[in-house]
Amino acid sequence: MISWCDLPFTLALASGAEEAAGRVAGGVRGERAEFDSSTLLTLALSLAAIVLVLWFTSYCSGGRRRTTAYHSPGRLFLTLCRAHRLGWRDAWLLWRLARWYELEDPARLFLEPERFDPSTLSQSLTRQAARLRLLRSRLFAGLETTEEPPSPPTNSGSFGLPLAPATAAGIVPPVETVA
């Protein structure tokens, strides 16, 4: 029985490529300086068949690289759901939420916590408000939601050391060094 791995060797033996290669090698070594067009044709066809088989194998195995960019909001959404380890029920609920807001890119839900506000939802999504609150707290766990603006930075550098005072133009005067 011939396996698929032996197929190229079997084809080479059946086509006489081994014999032709031996004749060419003999001609190069000077044993027989005979070189006809059928030998050349057989070698060219054998080489073309080998290149074709290698190309087809590479093509089927996915060895090619995608060089063009693609735009797939659905794939991005599913990738984010997997990255956040959401189950299919939660992913489906988020998908329905994105459809309710008519988002072209449903992945925006992962950036906009205000979309989870139950006062703006449909009746069917309002029934899922508790689950949506849980999802919001899970997705935006480290995000602070305060009404007051952030405090201005203090006048200290790294490690709490004071910085040199800046002039009105924002230029810091050079620090004198002691030699």
Residue 70 φ/ψ, nearest 5 degrees: -135, 155
Interatomic CA distance for residues 104 and 22, integer angstroms? 65
Residue 172, pLDDT score: 54
**Which of 39, 60, 81 represents a domain boundary (last residue)?**
60
Cα torsion through 145, 150, 156, 160, rounded to 10: -20
pTM of the model: 0.45
Number of domains in the chain: 2
**Least confident interval from 10-19, 35-44, 84-93, 115-124:** 10-19
Indicate whether 79 and 131 sit together in one domain.
Answer: yes
Indicate whether 48 and 92 sit together in one domain.
Answer: no
Residue 132 domain-assigned? Answer: yes
Domain hosting 17: range is: 7-60
Residue 18 domain-assigned? Answer: yes
Share of the chain above pLDDT 70, in %: 56
Interatomic CA distance for residues 6 and 9, integer angstroms? 5
Q: Is the pLDDT of residue 173 over 50?
A: yes
Q: Is the pLDDT of residue 2 over 70?
A: no
Does residue 100 sit in helix, strand or coil? Answer: helix
Residue 24 domain-assigned? Answer: yes
Interatomic CA distance for residues 86 and 91, integer angstroms? 6
Of residues 5, 101, 110, the one with CA closest to residue 53: 5
Indicate whether 79 and 111 sit together in one domain.
Answer: yes
Residue 80 domain-assigned? Answer: yes
Give 108's contacts (C-beta < 8 A, 6+ positions apart).
98, 115
Indicate whether 116 and 89 sit together in one domain.
Answer: yes
Residue 67 domain-assigned? Answer: no
**Position 139, amino acid:** L
Residue 101 domain-assigned? Answer: yes
Residue 78, pLDDT score: 92
Digit-coded pLDDT (tens) for 41-100: 888 999 999 999 998 888 787 755 665 666 888 899 999 999 999 999 999 999 999 998
Q: Is the pLDDT of residue 125 over 80?
A: yes
Digit-coded pLDDT (tens) for 141-153: 887 664 443 333 4
Residue 146 domain-assigned? Answer: no
Residue 110 domain-assigned? Answer: yes
Indicate whether 45 and 91 sit together in one domain.
Answer: no
| Torsional sign, CA 19, 25, 26, 27 | positive
Indicate whether 77 and 46 sit together in one domain.
Answer: no
